[in-house]
Amino acid sequence: MSEQASAAPVVRFAPSPTGRIHIGNARTALFNWLHARRHGGQFILRYDDTDRARSTAEFADAIAADLAWLGIVPDRVVRQSDRFALYDAAAGRLRAAGRLYACYETEEELEYRRRRQLAQHRAPVYDRAALRLSADDRARLEGEGRKPYWRFLLDARTVTWRDGVRGPQHIDCASLSDPVLIRADGSYLYTLPSVIDDIDLGVTDIIRGEDHVTNTGVQIQLFELLGSGAPRFAHHNLLTLPSGEGLSKRLGHLSLAALREQGFEPAAVAALAVLIGTSHSVEPVSDVASLAGKVDLADISHSAAKFDPAELDALNARTLHAMPHEGVAARLAALGVGGGEAFWLAVRGNLTRLAEAREWWGVVTADGGYGRAEDAELLGIAREHLPAEPWDGETWPRWTRAVAAATGRKGRALYHPLRLALTGREQGPELKALLPLIGRVRVLARLDAALA
């Protein structure tokens, strides 16, 4: 699935609205959305909400909000809970073709068979015992109160495809158990609704995690049986923690909602989610959409992509350091931060989160002093040599040269006492940029307070 892919692909992201999505889920959503943008295609958000007990509208709304935060706006939104008539019709076709068959084993009986197969050093594959049941057998089992669940009868053949990430792939379906498509309570598992929706919605490219590779053989057989050519498949590597542990919904601190609340920039989250585990280095991007021009599916590594939360901290800082004022002006205003572009350019290089700008705005605008005097003699001389206004970017070097000449101080002995008196901080933005923002009246007040 390279630059020669379809000029107008149709892709889908299909979360289950049973919890919040995390950065690993975002990786899949982004690969799909960016592929559609790269090739002028369509991105569908499909809620796989057939699990009526666990799926909620609140989680669906939260997923939409998380995607919107990343800048992903779907071209179409579909809910599987609205589409049961399609699945019922497809199940009827499979039954009529003899490819969907009723089974009656309990979980305990199936587990006993699996253990026996393993003890005999055989693969724990379903033995299709249900196909040998007579009509009388089925009537007797149903008379006992058993309700059938339904398996798809696989062709015992090898299914092949060319994967957009992994290259030529094959699955020997003879080594697989016939998959269960419908539970005994009549509810559908993932496989059949997914295939039916992909056919009905015209999905051309299925881009998903490599944990779905084995499913592909089954799904290609279903696509073919239901009268549709299979879409192209691309299975990307998964994000893991540095320990190798996979990500899951239980890792709430890595949910997009938690990352947003922690003050991470969407562009930083997206860049790390997409670029890690590819042939590209992880670099800041100006916005999420710009990633479409950077990454093709063929660039994705076959190895696991190790996600280190500390790397996100560093990337977030680098993202802010390169961000122009127009990209944050409205958000700074919402934080109560003024100072315009001059303030932003002065402080952005010291930020790891945007909200920290509010602290530096407080440093700039606070009346009175901080009362931290490290070298009273130097501060007194500095007060005497304080230039008149107007101030600009040359005021700080002109002032400190005069103080240095009068005191003989240089380096840290010169600059550190002034920084402490003016900002109350051991380190921070260049005072060359901060001094004009603080202004002469406040600087005098702070020097006086430090000398008091």
Over the stretch 35-49, which tens digit does the pLDDT of each residue have?
A: 999 999 999 999 999
**Residues 26 and 161 placed together within one structural domain of the fold:** no
**Residues 164 and 25 placed together within one structural domain of the fold:** no
pLDDT per position as a tens digit, 313-337:
999 999 999 999 999 999 999 999 9
How many alpha carbons fall within 13 Å on the CB side of residue 160? Answer: 2
**Residues 205 and 72 placed together within one structural domain of the fold:** yes
**Residues 65 and 20 placed together within one structural domain of the fold:** yes
Domain count within the chain: 3
The two three-digit tokens of residue 360, written as one number:
């530096």
Q: Report yes or no on 338 lying in a domain.
A: no
Q: Report yes or no on 41 lying in a domain.
A: yes
236, β-bridge pairs: 209
CATH number for the domain that contains residue 97: 3.90.800.10
User: What pLDDT sits at residue 254?
Assistant: 85
**Residues 76 and 143 placed together within one structural domain of the fold:** no
**Residues 75 and 216 placed together within one structural domain of the fold:** yes
**Residues 75 and 202 placed together within one structural domain of the fold:** yes
User: What pLDDT sits at residue 259?
Assistant: 94
Last residue of a domain, one of 182, 197, 224: 182
**Residue 52: pLDDT band with limits 50, 70, 90:** confident
**Residues 99 and 224 placed together within one structural domain of the fold:** no
**Residues 436 and 387 placed together within one structural domain of the fold:** yes
pLDDT surpassing 50 at residue 442: yes
The average pLDDT across 180-206 equals 96
User: What pLDDT sits at residue 383?
Assistant: 97
User: What pLDDT sits at residue 249?
Assistant: 61
Q: What percent of the chain has pLDDT over 70?
A: 97
CATH number for the domain that contains residue 425: 1.10.10.350
Q: Report yes or no on 421 lying in a domain.
A: yes
Q: Report yes or no on 352 lying in a domain.
A: no
Q: Report yes or no on 301 lying in a domain.
A: no
pLDDT per position as a tens digit, 370-420:
767 889 999 999 999 999 999 999 999 999 999 999 999 999 999 999 999
CATH number for the domain that contains residue 76: 3.40.50.620
Residue 145 is part of which domain span?
89-182
Last residue of a domain, one of 118, 147, 182: 182
pLDDT surpassing 50 at residue 5: no
The letter for the amino acid at 312 is L
CB 370, CB 420: distance < 8 Å? yes
**Residues 197 and 69 placed together within one structural domain of the fold:** yes
The two three-digit tokens of residue 44, written as one number:
């569908």
24-33, 134-143, 221-230: range with lowest mean pLDDT: 221-230
How many alpha carbons fall within 13 Å on the CB side of residue 97? Answer: 17
The overall average pLDDT reported for the chain is: 93
pLDDT per position as a tens digit, 341-364:
999 999 999 999 999 999 999 999
User: What pLDDT sits at residue 3?
Assistant: 41
The average pLDDT across 83-96 equals 97
User: What pLDDT sits at residue 4?
Assistant: 42
**Residues 117 and 176 placed together within one structural domain of the fold:** yes
Report angle CA 72, 319, 165 to the nearest 5 degrees.
Answer: 55
The two three-digit tokens of residue 120, written as one number:
């005999």
Q: Report yes or no on 49 lying in a domain.
A: yes
Q: Report yes or no on 387 lying in a domain.
A: yes
Return d(Cα 264, Cα 256) in angstroms, integer.
Answer: 9
pLDDT per position as a tens digit, 251-304:
566 899 999 999 999 999 999 999 999 999 999 999 999 999 988 999 999 988
**Residues 65 and 120 placed together within one structural domain of the fold:** no
Cβ count within 10 A of residue 144? 8
Q: Report yes or no on 229 lying in a domain.
A: yes
pLDDT surpassing 80 at residue 247: no
Residue spans of beta strands (DSSP E) within 48-182: 76-79, 100-103, 149-152, 158-163, 167-172, 180-182
